[in-house]
Amino acid sequence: MGNVNVTVNGIEVSVPDNYTAMLAARQAGVEIPSLCFLKDVNEIGACRVCVVEADIKGVPMRNLPASCILQVAEGMNIRTNTAKVRKAVKTNVELILANHNRECLTCKRNQNCELQSLCDELGIDQVRFQGEKRKPTIDNLSHSIIRDASKCILCGRCISTCRDVQGIGVLDFTHRGFQTEVAPAFDFSMRDVDCVYCGQCIEACPVAALTERQYIDEVFEAIEDPEKFVVVQTAPAVRASLGEEFGMPVGTRVTGKMVAALRRLGFDKVFDTNFSADLTILEEGTELLNRVTTGGVLPMITSCSPGWIRFCEMKYPEFLPNLSTCKSPQQMFGAILKTYYAQKMGIDPKKIVSVSVMPCTSKKTEANRPEMEVDGLRDVDYSLTTRELGDMIKRARIRFANLPDETADSILGEYTGAGVIFGATGGVMEAALRTVADILTGKDLQDIEYSAVRGLDGVKEASVVLPIDGKETEIKVAIAHGTANAAKVLDAVKAGQKDYHFIEVMACPGGCVHGGGQSIVSAQVRLDVNPKANRAAALYAEDEACVKRKSHDNEEVQALYKDFLGKPNSHLSHKLLHTHYAPRKVYECQA
Amino acid sequence: MMTMVDLNGLKAKALEEMESEGTLRVVVGMATCGQSAGARRVMETLKKDVAELGLDNVNVAVTGCVGMCTYEPILEVLETGKKKVTYIRMDPEKTARVVKEHLQGGKPVLDYTVGHDHAGNLKNLEDLQFYAKQERIVLRNCGTIDPENIHEYIARDGYAALRKALLEMTPETVIDEMKKSGLRGRGGAGFPTGLKWGFAAPNKADQKYIICNADEGDPGAFMDRSVLEGDPHAILEAMAIGGYAIGASKGYIYVRAEYPVAVERLKIAIGQAQQMGLLGRKIFGTDFSFDIEIRLGAGAFVCGEETALIASIEGKRGMSRNKPPFPAHKGLWGKPTVINNVETLANVAQIILKGADWFRSFGTEKSPGTKVFALGGKINNTGLVEVPMGITLREVIYDIGSGCPHGKAFKAVQTGGPSGGCITAADLDTPIDFDNLVAIGSMMGSGGMIVMDEDNCMVDIARFFLDFTVDESCGKCTPCREGTKRMLEILDRIVAGEGTMQDLENLEDLAENIRLTSLCALGQTAPNPVMSTMKHFRDEYLAHVQDKKCPAGVCKALLGYVITADCKGCTKCKRVCPVEAITGEVKQLHVIDQALCIRCGACFNVCSFNAIARN
Amino acid sequence: MPEDPEVNQNRFGTGVGNNTQRRLGNVNDQSKCACSCGCITAEDPRFAELKSYIDSLNQEQGITMPVLQEAQRSFGYLPLEVQKFISENTGVPLAEIYGVATFYSQFAIEPKGRHHIGVCMGTACYVKGSQKVLDKLVEELKVKVGCTTSDGKFTLEATRCLGCCGLAPCIMIDDDVFGKLDDVSRIPDILGKYE
């Protein structure tokens, strides 16, 4: 693989020979517009917005090829700004607009839409073609994801993400030609198909064809209701992405401002899911050691990712016994809130409204799972995404950048570094290892950074040698992120090729930092910036800055056990903090 | 495993059977067109009566399409030493008579034959003017051999080319010969076949493929169907030769599902070839192994485009892919793949056997060989014709086709189907070849040639082709999916009398955009019918848009019906009018209320006095 | 309630009726089974035959098309149950199977009846009351436009102009044209002629 010399608009550049014309143009300082292009995920040259004029060996191509696909060659001459190209691109955008719901002012992606930006940048000033439009199907029946066909531009980014990145394939192009629509099989609602609600499709969508179901109004209403005591918890990954909603660079850590904003929005208490992340480690660590020492079902698999839980229930029900019975930190928090906290503070739990801010769209459905309640009270009443919190702050006209740094309330707000790193792939595993290692060795180990579980490889393996019942035992662990990778690990375990004690699975590639509820980063920005890496770095930085970095050192968690739960896996812990699963059928007629 | 001796021996034996002294060979055209005309019942009667009369010296065989569709069902009697007798427009009754009087009695039934020439000699098919200027290379076996009998193919030098290639030539020399022959793809684009094979051959891969594109989808085209139904082995042999040349051991034939007879004949042919070791492992005792699988289309015109075809074989929606990379480098399953049209392949064996120079003796310098056309529309002799490149359009339409029926004036001829353009009388003396047709605003296409006369509206024709394209667009890329639809909406408005001059401008802008930026050839050529009719028949478009009139009298919304003084007051029109727009008493002049008239033309059709004028 | 005839003018026969019903209006609530006749059960022996066919392909690549073609040949059409079965036994996601099935004109998601009724919605017929004809047929056959009766006898569709404007309003059943149907009471008798 060497370099070739190409010319872009008269500027000569030397680029690797596997570059496309689009990448070569970037190097020459020209950003060719695109819509369907999503690096490494969807490179199909369908929208025809990135077309250019190109000469190959001095001979002009008779058509305008898609620069996102055209591979460079020595001496290629690329022209992106001729009248011919500008006219062609404008016409293609016009054609997309002619079949598009152009009500931008009332659209969720107003100001953050790749099509809208293109119209602005390319100077689209008319839509000459009026005629038939796509049938305006809106599917808003699930708790998590809304599909609006009137806004779809048939770019295929969601399809490629679901099928190739996640290995599931809930959506595909259906019918043909002008009748083409992106939809689930048989036009089933997203509620009734094998969707895990990971929301990666939302992150991939350049427009508002796929969005999350929002509960902002309900939460504002609860806050205003003087009868209600509204409590909010924030997941670790939120603090690494919220700033992007206000134009900050991808992965800016805004923990302090996030807390300050929540207070100003009027929440009665601002807590932190990291608290219950620490709690989860104590419950799950204990459960793991139990299984290891008493011959329980191994490998044990984490259960904090609701997308992963759904995936397991639908595709790998044989592994349900392997799942930890622990609820996710979100749900544990809610259960503790309406019992321990309510009792301790003398608040009527029926008046508590439990709100969470999550990087996740699947948490909305998780919060609505029938079993996620204690004595008739829902653990979590409303689960919001990072984006929804950003919206609320904007609606309240709070100037985010000017906020001071504040800290979460007690007694459910303390957290250790172990809790923070839950948001990155490998974080749960690392947090668990930190605690399990101390428990087994009986020491306060200082070497607590397990680099083997960090990073963006799809499947990671590690092993730690620890004493169990006096014997040095090699504890073998695996980490998978993205459901396709989860399938790989499970298939290997099923086939007897691999033998682990503990597996961490996150449904989203990169872990929660790239959850379906995080700030949406455009395809163009993604050419230079990797949100997964940047946001994870923010969490690891926060971990490093923490004084306490092991879950069992969390004093508020210690108090919880001492004053209320007793010990991990106690009877009360089981009632409040553990759950069960069942195989899940999909594509069933509701008739 | 066939050795040289075997093939020659089989050939000699088969020839003997087919042409032995005293034997009467009777063939019935049993391609799809023959069958729709009733050939099956003719065949049944023939077999039954021959058996009943105990005629042991009569051999009955099915055969493929001879091209003269209006004469189907066709039955031909061949006797060594005697001139072939062609019976046309047969039915069971006529068949019974032929069996009795000719096959048994030795006397041809003259009334049922093609006719006599000036000297009183009996004519058969080949004597017809229709065939005078044809040169049957691709169709050489169609109508002659029984496609379901491999021995008859062998009798006509079948598989001798494959043997020659495997035993006397290297893959490189095979490709050289193909390059020298100048054979260009007959599917429409006209890309040099030898070059294409040459691109695939050097690519290293653990598997390569050769695919026969039998997804003939142009409305009005049936050249490939005729070859598959009449001479399937020619395709198998060619694919094997191609496989040898590029290093592929697997071939696919992608046939459209609407061709059941072709599929059946191919299955039989493949089975027979496999049985004889002409397909399979170590053919002719060499290291070369090659096998062929049939894959059916499922009703998508776009799958005739090579990358969409590949997607279809891969089990996906037939959505086209960007080129480059070209299939010769990265095709089916990402492997080097050569895709050739049926007609292209049908030339290969003969080129290898008889040499590139022989092939070049037909046609023109830049387009050697012949081309099969499906002649249809407003033409007296519809059917399949194979002519050398370089023949003029005038010769095909008038000498072979015998011009437009009912004395109507020729208006245009459309070649290339929905991807092509129309050619006017001014260009009829153009010698047919790939480049000339492009130069005059059309293209060769796969071979559909539709003639139009003064009663055709060119705007309506353009709308028809565009409607087809909109239905068949795969929907992947913006310009084709959205653009052709918008063009169609504009044309719908124009033929409904609601078009504006701005519409014409938008039509041209859209056409240019779709041509330049569509992902595949379906989209890139979709605007051609509109653009070429706008160029050559702009006055018709202007009449529709400015005058709200359809000069050819086709677009219903633009027609006005007026009852003239010739009206006899018979009241027929009044009774038939669905909206009661006609008033008048018996024996009195009737009147059409133009405000109520919905232009359905029912009155016009029913008037026996030609008293209704239409414009 | 008769459907808007414009909606059903689709020549592909790929389950237009079923899907466009869901696409009309806002909320896409699931709904009736794609299996109109309601009679393909899990015990149907054709499933075992289909499984044999799939297995015989020996895990070759790209078998979706041949499998769908075989399934259509066997079951006559490709409802949810059949496509689910194919998905489970080939590992191809159901959405992809459905995407392929709806792409090609030859695949039918809805069963086609033994007889095809086309109600002409051209201008002449429309003006003469073809909507009433359509309504009567919907009532008689107890089927929606674009769909097939539960006994598999008739498929009812709205068509473009049949070219028999003098006989307006008219319908076509298979190759037979019936005109002057402004008296809709004639319809039951006409239907009775067909097996």
List the single range of A199-208, A511-520, B123-132, B359-368 with lowest mean pLDDT.
B123-132
Instruction: Give the pLDDT score at B122.
Output: 83
User: Could you say which of C10, C83, C93 has the minimum Cβ distance to residue A168?
Assistant: C93
Contact residues on chain B for C121, CB-CB shorter than 8 A: none
Model confidence at A78: pLDDT above 60: yes
User: How sure is the predictor about C29, in pLDDT bands with cuts at 50, 70 and 90?
Assistant: very low
Question: Do residue C29 and residue A179 have CB atoms under 8 angstroms apart?
Answer: no
Digit-coded pLDDT (tens) for A280-337: 999 999 999 999 999 999 999 999 999 999 999 999 999 999 999 999 999 999 999 9
User: Could you say which of C18, C23, C98 has the minimum Cβ distance to residue A185?
Assistant: C98
Contact residues on chain B for C96, CB-CB shorter than 8 A: 316
Total CB pairs under 8 A between chain A and B: 103
The percentage of chain A sitting over the pLDDT mark of 90, rounded to a whole number, equals 97
User: Could you say which of B471, B510, B524 has the minimum Cβ distance to residue A177?
Assistant: B471
Look at the block and give the residue holding tokens 């504890």.
A475
Question: Do residue C28 and residue A141 have CB atoms under 8 angstroms apart?
Answer: yes
Instruction: Give the pLDDT score at B4.
Output: 61
Question: Average pLDDT for residues A428-435, to the nearest whole number?
Answer: 97
Q: What's the N-to-C CA distance of chain C in angstroms?
A: 26
The catalytic position among A31, A371, A544, A555 is A371
Per the CB < 8 A criterion, the answer to whether B3 and B80 are in contact is no
Model confidence at A493: pLDDT above 60: yes
Domain B458-545, second-level architecture: Up-down Bundle (1.20)
Question: Average pLDDT for residues C94-118, to the nearest whole number?
Answer: 92
A198 is catalytic: no
Instruction: Give the pLDDT score at C169.
Output: 81
The catalytic position among A53, A203, A244, A366 is A366
List the single range of A369-378, A543-552, B121-130, B375-384 with lowest mean pLDDT.
B121-130
Instruction: Give the pLDDT score at A515.
Output: 97
For residues B452-490, one letter each, b for 16 or more C-beta atoms within 10 angstroms of the residue's C-beta and e for the rest, the string is bbeebbbbbbbbebbebbbbbbbbbbbbbbbbbbbbbbb
Q: What is the mean pLDDT of each run of 10 residues along chain B (615 residues)?
A: 75 85 88 86 94 92 87 91 90 94 91 82 84 92 94 94 96 98 95 97 96 92 93 98 97 93 96 95 94 95 96 96 94 97 98 97 96 92 93 95 93 93 95 94 92 93 94 97 98 95 97 97 96 96 95 87 92 89 92 87 88 85
Question: Do residue C26 and residue A192 have CB atoms under 8 angstroms apart?
Answer: no
List the single range of A15-24, A463-472, B257-266, C58-67 with lowest mean pLDDT.
C58-67
Domain ranges of chain C: 5-103, 115-192
Instruction: Give the pLDDT score at C34.
Output: 43
Instruction: Give the pLDDT score at A118.
Output: 96
Q: Which residues of chain B from 277 to 316 reach within 8 Å of chain C, CB to CB?
A: 295-300, 312-316
Instruction: Give the pLDDT score at C163.
Output: 65
User: Could you say which of C66, C103, C128 has the minimum Cβ distance to residue B317?
Assistant: C103
DSSP state of A157: H
List the single range of A22-31, C30-39, C160-169 with lowest mean pLDDT.
C30-39
What's the CATH class of domain B15-128?
alpha beta
User: Could you say which of C84, C95, C97 has the minimum Cβ distance to residue A170?
Assistant: C95
Contact residues on chain C for B316, CB-CB shorter than 8 A: 62, 64, 96, 100
Closest chain B C-alpha to A15 CA, distance in angstroms: 19
User: How sure is the predictor about A395, in pLDDT bands with cuts at 50, 70 and 90?
Assistant: very high
The token duo for C155 is 């498929």
DSSP A234-269: E-GGGGGTGGGGGTPPTT---HHHHHHHHHHHT-SE
Mean pLDDT of chain A: 96
Digit-coded pLDDT (tens) for A341-354: 999 999 999 999 99
What is the widest separation between alpha-carbon atoms in chain A? Answer: 82
Pairing of strands A77-79, A3-8: parallel
Look at the block and give the residue holding tokens 């033409």.
B379
C-alpha radius of gyration, chain A, whole number: 25
Question: Do residue C19 and residue A171 have CB atoms under 8 angstroms apart?
Answer: no
DSSP B303-356: GGSHHHHHHHHTTS------SSSPTTTS-GGGS-EEEEEHHHHHHHHHHHHH-H
Look at the block and give the residue holding tokens 């009147």.
B591
Task: Give the nearest chain C residue to B577 (CA atoms).
Answer: C166
A363 is catalytic: yes
Question: Do residue C166 and residue B257 have CB atoms under 8 angstroms apart?
Answer: no
Q: Where in chain B is the domain with CATH 3.40.50.11540?
A: 158-360
CATH fold for domain B370-453: Ubiquitin-like (UB roll) (3.10.20)
User: A497: Cβ–Cβ under 8 A, 6 or more apart, which residues?
Assistant: none
Task: Give the nearest chain C residue to B468 (CA atoms).
Answer: C11
Contact residues on chain C for A185, CB-CB shorter than 8 A: 80, 83, 94-95, 97-99
C65 in contact with A, Cβ within 8 Å: no
B210 in contact with A, Cβ within 8 Å: no
B329 in contact with A, Cβ within 8 Å: no
DSSP state of B31: S
SS3 content of chain B, % helix, strand, coil (to 5): 45, 15, 40
Closest chain C C-alpha to A590 CA, distance in angstroms: 6
Question: Do residue A175 and residue C22 have CB atoms under 8 angstroms apart?
Answer: no
Contact residues on chain C for B300, CB-CB shorter than 8 A: 103-105
A504 is catalytic: no
What distance in Å separates the CA atoms of residue B364 and residue B390, rounded to the nearest whole number?
6
A354 is catalytic: no
Instruction: Give the pLDDT score at C91.
Output: 93
What distance in Å separates the CA atoms of residue B56 and residue B58, rounded to the nearest whole number?
5
What distance in Å separates the CA atoms of residue A11 and residue C140, rounded to the nearest whole number?
73
Instruction: Give the pLDDT score at B15.
Output: 87
Instruction: Give the pLDDT score at C20.
Output: 31
Contact residues on chain C for A141, CB-CB shorter than 8 A: 27-30
Domain B560-614, second-level architecture: 2-Layer Sandwich (3.30)
Contact residues on chain C for B602, CB-CB shorter than 8 A: 124, 165-166
Contact residues on chain B for A160, CB-CB shorter than 8 A: none
Instruction: Give the pLDDT score at B350.
Output: 97
The CATH classification number of C115-192 equals 3.40.30.10
Half-sphere exposure of B412 (CA within 13 A, CB side): 25
Task: Give the nearest chain C residue to A173 (CA atoms).
Answer: C99
Best of B490, B498, B513, B520 to mutate (most A CBs within 10 Å, chain A): B513
Digit-coded pLDDT (tens) for A154-166: 999 999 999 999 9
A512 is catalytic: yes
DSSP C40-60: --TT-HHHHHHHHHHHHTTT-
A287 is catalytic: yes
Question: Do residue B516 and residue A63 have CB atoms under 8 angstroms apart?
Answer: yes
> Phi, psi at residue B613, to the nearest 5°?
-95, 140
Q: Does domain B158-360 have CATH number 3.30.420.40?
A: no
Per the CB < 8 A criterion, the answer to whether B248 and B338 are in contact is yes
Half-sphere exposure of A58 (CA within 13 A, CB side): 0
Question: Average pLDDT for residues A117-146, to the nearest whole number?
Answer: 94
Mean pLDDT of chain C: 76
User: How sure is the predictor about C61, in pLDDT bands with cuts at 50, 70 and 90?
Assistant: confident
Per the CB < 8 A criterion, the answer to whether B548 and B506 are in contact is no
The region that residue A3 occupies, defined by phi over 0 for left and psi between -120 and 50 for alpha, beta otherwise, is beta
User: How sure is the predictor about C113, in pLDDT bands with cuts at 50, 70 and 90?
Assistant: confident
Model confidence at A508: pLDDT above 50: yes
SS3 C73: helix
C28 in contact with A, Cβ within 8 Å: yes
